[in-house]
Chain A
Amino acid sequence: MLRRLKFIGALGVMLLMALLVSAEQRFPPPDFENGYSLPSTSTPAARQLWLQYGDTAVFLAALGTAVWLIYKKRSRRGVFWLSLFSLAYFGFYRKGCICPIGSPQNIVYGLFNPGYAVPLTVLIFCFAPIVVALFGGRAFCAGVCPQGALQDLVLIKPIVVPPWLEHALGVVPYIFLGAGLICAGTGTGFLICRYDPFVPFFRLSGGTFILTFGAAFLLMGMFVGRPYCRFLCPYGGLLRVASLASKWRVRVTPDTCTQCRLCEQSCPFGAMREPPSPETNPKWLRAERKRLGWLLALLPVLILAGAWGGSKFSPTAAQLNPTVALAERYARQQIHPVEYGLMTPEALSLQRAADNPAAILTQAADLRRRFALACALFGGWVGLVIGVKLAALSVRPSRTDFEPDRGACFACARCFTACPNERVRLGLAPAAQGAEPL
């Protein structure tokens, strides 16, 4: 250390002399006499813009192909090969970092930070799968999403997730979406991208935590179909809502359902729904209606309670923001100084705060105000999600056939060939003798 200080001191003297000579540069660039020419600094170009538009074209083409394979061809094999292509292209070739899952964050970040212009490609990646879902369900999840394709590949022995667990975990994507969006809106960071478990696999490198997280999901994915898509993916949550209003839907049977229940086992994602029994007890019906009424009345209460609870969390949540965290560390440092090592990131950032404390503190105060609002909104959102989930559980389904649930169905096309009527249509099985389809 002493040696180092002596060295620094000696250099300081040298420096001072150099400064007297040249105010612009400590050591003026030499005039070479032997004809030496200055090399230029190399600047390898970033990925060309037209290639990015190429990615968008591939993406739109893949979406279109997925819809065609699911509705026109009704081909699981086609969807499977398309998803493998997407895994190779968007996953391993593009390293998973041009994907719609994180794009709602960019949109929200763009809305609240006027300095950031949302690139056109991001707009298309965000909105195109939602538009497709509004007409044809989650075709994106089935054929285009590399994360989904990877989970589909590792699935070997799907087990049935009990409905209570399925429904309880089903609200997690929406809560995660809310958290991701408030973090993006306040400029804190892109949580959804940070905790994407499969992108490190596409890149073939990553931190210990995220690799463990990803490995856990892949292991789980061997026995639970698409655990990330069902229980965490926030974009999947958006598509789920969008496909509730879809114009066309995946139908297992090409004509009439014989209620044979064969399709029920073909769905590894627990999306197949049994039709409710046609004879209904008017007494139950009244009780159900009453429950639904109560739950709908409870909704505003849940939202308000959530908003109140959320606002309580805002000081803690604000610390997620690096600027707020730095401001607080700086304020603490004034009272209880902590020694940080020389040239460590902590010491350097504190130095930056100390150079211009007013800027950091006002920025932090502004961010805290933003967080107060954002956390109240987030709490209200959590209340709304839970309330709507409870209410949705009390709505009686209106189906007469075995059908995949509109929202939960990934449109993977597995169930088609499980249906005996479809097998007859494809000529894989002889038409039923004697027994007419119902």
Chain B
Amino acid sequence: MDAKPPEDSAVTRRQFLRNGARLLAMTGLGVAAGGLATRSTGAATVWQIDPAKCLRCGNCATKCVLEQSAVKCVHAYAVCGYCQLCTGFFAPEPNALTTAAENQLCPTGAIKRTYVEDPYYQYSIDEQLCIGCAKCVEGCNRFGNGSLFLQIRHDRCLNCNECAISRTCPGDAFRRVPVDHPYLLKTTSR
């Protein structure tokens, strides 16, 4: 519609519209950025599981985008009863209270049971083997002190914008926490 601008005229109609649009967009972006920046904490956040809400469904083992889930079982030793018959370690009705594979609840044998003193045993998690299936967490929470629980391990987690596990979590247990306090550790059994 408009022809090539004459040499002396500074702006054509389209250039004028373009400049106006740019000015408008910059103002809008400035207002939006300013408004959001005042509410922004500056601190980044990471995903974490609230152990109080976790229902131990087993999704954490399979729904993570990583082939080996970033969710692992962790142990709050201060809460643990050091039971000889640990319901997080032994399968229901174990043949014997030994570390033989058929007695263990963990599908990958990731819990190490070591003798401390009669009748106490220490249970610790081998994170290389743990798949985050929560079988032990269920056993420990249902019948024991609940010292085993799931946490996202931040040396593995990619901190996806939308955590793929959180979307399928039946307990709505995932939330973002400040990066300088990235764990929600249990200090009591409940």
Please determine whether A118 and B161 come into contact, CB atoms closer than 8 angstroms: no
Check: A338 CB closer than 8 A to any chain B CB. Answer: no
Choose among B39, B46, B78, B160 the residue with the greatest number of A CB atoms under 10 Å from its CB.
Answer: B160
Q: Which residues of the partner chain B approach A59 to less than 8 Å between Cβ atoms?
A: none
Please determine whether A119 and B170 come into contact, CB atoms closer than 8 angstroms: no
A97-B159 CB under 8 A given contacts A32-B120, A41-B77, A49-B179: yes
Check: A189 CB closer than 8 A to any chain B CB. Answer: yes
- Interchain CA distance A118-B153 in the complex, whole Å: 23
A selection of 18 A-B contacts at a CB cut-off of 8 Å is A3-B93, A25-B145, A27-B82, A29-B80, A34-B117, A36-B116, A41-B74, A41-B76, A43-B183, A45-B182, A47-B179, A119-B40, A120-B42, A131-B29, A345-B169, A346-B170, A398-B1, A400-B4
Check: A157 CB closer than 8 A to any chain B CB. Answer: no
Closest beta carbon of chain B to A344's beta carbon, Å? 7
- Interchain CA distance A40-B172 in the complex, whole Å: 28
**Chain B contact residue count (CB 8 A cutoff):** 77
Please determine whether B40 and A206 come into contact, CB atoms closer than 8 angstroms: no
Cβ-closest chain A residue relative to B13:
A398
Please determine whether A49 and B43 come into contact, CB atoms closer than 8 angstroms: yes
Please determine whether A29 and B79 come into contact, CB atoms closer than 8 angstroms: yes
- Interchain CA distance A314-B57 in the complex, whole Å: 30
Taking CB atoms and an 8 Å cut-off, the chain A residues in 219-260 that contact chain B are: 242, 244-247
Check: B7 CB closer than 8 A to any chain A CB. Answer: no
Check: A432 CB closer than 8 A to any chain B CB. Answer: no
Q: Add 13 more A-B contacts to A120-B42, A242-B25, A348-B170 (CB < 8 A).
A: A26-B143, A29-B82, A36-B117, A36-B122, A40-B77, A44-B153, A49-B180, A105-B161, A127-B33, A345-B58, A348-B57, A352-B55, A398-B2
A134-B25 CB under 8 A given contacts A43-B182, A46-B159, A49-B179: yes
- Interchain CA distance A52-B180 in the complex, whole Å: 13
Please determine whether A106 and B161 come into contact, CB atoms closer than 8 angstroms: yes
Taking CB atoms and an 8 Å cut-off, the chain B residues in 104-151 that contact chain A are: 116-117, 120, 122, 124, 138, 143-145
A322-B167 CB under 8 A given contacts A29-B81, A32-B117, A205-B65: yes
Please determine whether B145 and A110 come into contact, CB atoms closer than 8 angstroms: no
Check: A434 CB closer than 8 A to any chain B CB. Answer: no
